[in-house]
Amino acid sequence: MVKVLFTLFLLIEIGVSDPFRTHCIPCHKEQKVSLKKIFFDYLLYFSSERKVKASIKEFLLHPSPKKQIYKEKKLFKHSLPLEVIEPAIDIYWELYKVIGKIK
Between CA 102 and CA 97 the distance in angstroms is 10
Identify the pLDDT of residue 44.
92
| Residue 86 within a domain | yes
**What is this structure's pTM?**
0.75
| Residue 103 within a domain | no
| Residue 11 within a domain | yes
Between CA 98 and CA 23 the distance in angstroms is 23
Identify the pLDDT of residue 72.
73
Query: DSSP label at 21?
Result: I
pLDDT means per 10 residues in the chain (103 residues)?
A: 64 65 88 90 92 94 84 76 92 87 63
Identify the pLDDT of residue 79.
82
Domain count, the chain: 1
Between CA 32 and CA 29 the distance in angstroms is 5
Structural domain that includes position 24: 2-96
Identify the pLDDT of residue 75.
74
Identify the pLDDT of residue 7.
65
Identify the pLDDT of residue 103.
60
Identify the pLDDT of residue 50.
96
